[in-house]
Structure 1
Amino acid sequence: MTDASNCIRQLNPEKTDLLVPVTGSMFVRGEVEDCENVLIDIGTGYYVEKSLEDALDYFKRKVEFLSTQIEKVQQVGREKSNVRAAIIEVLEGKMQAQAQLQQVAAQQKKPAKA
């Protein structure tokens, strides 16, 4: 999103020639016809024509939204990690208790030597 915002800011009505990426390593020469409006991808194959100011505002809002969602997901991840650590601690305690019970039972079964 920030790349798109930077590209919009670099549009210059006096310089209309540009290279258009076709693949990751192939470009073709292109020319911008309208420097006042841009076509932006809003997702799932939908494109919207917006003015430069509206496009910048859209990208700003999108970055803010995504940042908020990332923070929420990170918080949930931390909570789940804490729950996982607590579960592991309880399981390890139960396994140690079980091992001690088995040792005591094994010692009681041994016959006493005279």
Structure 2
Amino acid sequence: MSASMLPRIIGFDVPQLREHVDLSADEAITALLDLEPGARWTELFVMKCEALASQLSLAEVRVEGSKIFFYGSISDARGLASAVMSIMHVLNDQLMREGNDVASRQGDA
């Protein structure tokens, strides 16, 4: 997969945050992407977030169109935003390596 097909975060929309998160009442922090990711990317990203959820205090991450929604309190919002960016970088690197491996195997054939 080429880098131009992988989403990048271009900014964040951060609502007024509280000390304690209430998923039913609070607005989500929104990561704005430069493009809408494909279904495979979205599935892998959500799986990676779920695998790290308890470790990062990351709850209910969802991807809709070219936005990633997640919740955080005043004290952990910056750390969660960094975690979301880190997960994206790891996933994008993984998918680029996979794409390069496939391309090199096809070139050898």
Instruction: With a CA cutoff of 8 Å and minimum separation of 6, indicate the structure with the bigger relative contact order.
Output: 2
* Higher percent of residues as strand: 1
TM-score normalised by structure 2 residue count: 0.42
* Higher percent of residues as helix: 1
- Bigger Rg, which one: 1
